[in-house]
């Protein structure tokens, strides 16, 4: 197969593609997670909770493909990152996996038994399945921004020197978790407002107001903290990024405010945090104006702005090291071979449009309101 781009260009393309997949996951699966957190609170009786569940029941499994695809892309494009992350974040990822177990079981088995205790237990299971991943993903990004305590030996083997509690119980990471959790609940509430009516609609509308405000305040605090309160990382010297290199070939220094360097060098990057704030504000305003369709577009833009803010701040770092900064992994030295990146790029060009077309078709077919009357009539529904 002919090589379509030079190595440097493919490295940048794959950084962009992984960012796109993370944004796709946040937008498509994020509202599922947010609705799971809201389920016990916006549904006050069994029919209302079935309405909430059926608003995402037909699409939640397909949405999780974005999560699987993002993980696969990281494994294929950045094998060093995959190895180091699964070593350092092992218990956190295991916690997410166990929490996600509640989702398929909860969706499929909740309505199989009419006992209220059975159904309530699975409602709280779906709550856990939404809350834990939404929180942990943000905590993970908070730790990436602070640097992860790992280093590489001469054989490029990663060694992690931190602890699970050190990852979870640190203030900046918890604040990042609040940003992630609140923005996904906001996003889920907007989608719920789009798909429901009556009491559920109005409760979702109130949730949009509350969690959009929490999101924007937490995001602003995290930005200030990132700029003035934590050490970022910058590359002092490195070989040609377009060539073959290893993470240990570069020299890296840690400095407070280093994550703001890209914004000085490339002022257009400030559009990312502006997009996050503007999306949150406009989503709130459109929700209050009873325009949930437009609000969903703006809440999606807010999610994209948050992820772009984090990734652009760190670029080219993907997983910086706080113990041995030169071991930090970047988009230029943690990648697969030139040929591998090229082959996978061809696969993306072929299959991604198919996935997007199918997803668009599914949402077009499943559009419309889910009501309590419809739920009572369709007793055969699985949810």
Q: Which one, of 106, 92, 111, lies nearest residue 35 by Cα? A: 106
Contact yes or no for 166/131 (Cβ under 8 A)? no
- Tens of pLDDT, residues 97-107: 899 889 888 88
Beta strands in the chain (DSSP E): 150-152, 158-160, 231-237, 251-256, 317-319, 329-330
Confidence of residue 2 (pLDDT cuts 50, 70, 90): low
For the cut 80, the answer to whether the pLDDT of residue 371 exceeds it is no
**Structure token pair of residue 359:** 């997803």
Residue 231: Cβ within 10 Å count: 17
pLDDT for 18 beyond 80? yes
Per DSSP bridges, beta strands 251-256 and 317-319 are unpaired
pLDDT category, 163, cuts 50, 70, 90?
confident
Q: What's the token pair of residue 72? A: 């696969």
Q: What is the tens place of the pLDDT at every residue in 165-177?
A: 766 678 999 999 9
**What is the pLDDT of the chain when averaged over all its residues?**
89
Which residues pair with residue 158 across a beta bridge?
152
Residue pointed to by tokens 């947010």: 34
What is the C-alpha radius of gyration for the chain, rounded to an integer number of angstroms?
21
257-286: pLDDT as tens digits: 899 999 999 999 999 999 999 999 999 999
* Residue in 204, 195, 217 with CA at minimum distance from that of residue 293: 195
Query: CA-to-CA distance for 283 and 297, rounded, in angstroms?
Result: 8
Per DSSP, the three-state class of 288 is: helix
Q: What are the φ and ψ backbone dihedral angles of 321, each rounded to 5 degrees?
A: -105, 130
Residue with tokens 């037909």: 58
Domain coordinates in residue numbering, the chain: 7-377
The dihedrals phi and psi of 251, each to the nearest 5 degrees, come to: -115, 130
The reported pLDDT for the residue numbered 380 is: 59
pLDDT at position 1 is 59
């Amino acid at each position: 197969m002919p090589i379509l781009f030079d190595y440097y260009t493919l490295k940048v393309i794959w950084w962009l593609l992984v960012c796109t997949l993370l944004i796709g996951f946040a937008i498509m699966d994020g509202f599922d997670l947010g609705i799971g957190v809201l389920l016990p609170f916006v549904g006050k009786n069994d029919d209302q909770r079935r309405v909430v569940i059926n608003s995402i029941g037909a699409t939640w499994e397909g949405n999780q493909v974005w999560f699987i695809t993002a993980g696969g892309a990281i494994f294929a494009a950045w094998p060093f990152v995959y190895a180091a992350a699964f070593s350092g974040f092992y218990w956190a990822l295991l916690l997410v996996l166990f929490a996600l177990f509640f989702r398929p079981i909860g969706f499929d088995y909740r309505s199989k038994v009419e006992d209220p205790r059975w159904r309530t237990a699975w409602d709280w299971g779906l709550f856990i399945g939404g809350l834990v991943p939404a929180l942990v993903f943000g905590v993970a990004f908070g730790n990436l921004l602070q640097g992860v305590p790992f280093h590489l030996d001469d054989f490029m083997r990663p060694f992690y020197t931190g602890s699970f509690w050190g990852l979870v119980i640190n203030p900046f990471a918890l604040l990042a978790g609040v940003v992630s959790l609140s923005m996904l609940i906001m996003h889920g509430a907007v989608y719920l407002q789009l798909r429901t009516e009556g009491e559920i609609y109005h409760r979702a509308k109130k949730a949009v107001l509350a969690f959009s405000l929490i999101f924007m305040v937490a995001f602003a605090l995290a930005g200030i903290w990132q700029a003035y309160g934590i050490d970022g990382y910058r590359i002092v010297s490195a070989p040609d990024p377009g060539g073959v290199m290893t993470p240990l070939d570069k020299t890296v220094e840690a400095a407070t405010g280093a994550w703001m360097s890209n914004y000085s060098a490339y002022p257009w990057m400030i559009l990312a945090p502006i997009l996050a704030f503007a999306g949150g504000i406009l989503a709130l305003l459109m929700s209050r104006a009873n325009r949930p369709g437009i609000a969903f577009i703006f809440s999606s833009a807010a999610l994209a702005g948050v992820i772009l803010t984090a990734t652009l701040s760190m670029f080219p770092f993907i997983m910086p090291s706080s113990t041995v900064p030169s071991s930090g992994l970047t988009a230029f030295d943690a990648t697969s071979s030139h040929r591998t990146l090229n082959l996978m790029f061809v696969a993306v060009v072929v299959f991604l449009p198919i996935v997007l077309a199918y997803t668009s078709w599914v949402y077009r077919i499943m559009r419309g309101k889910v009501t309590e009357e419809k739920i009572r009539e369709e007793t055969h529904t699985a949810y």
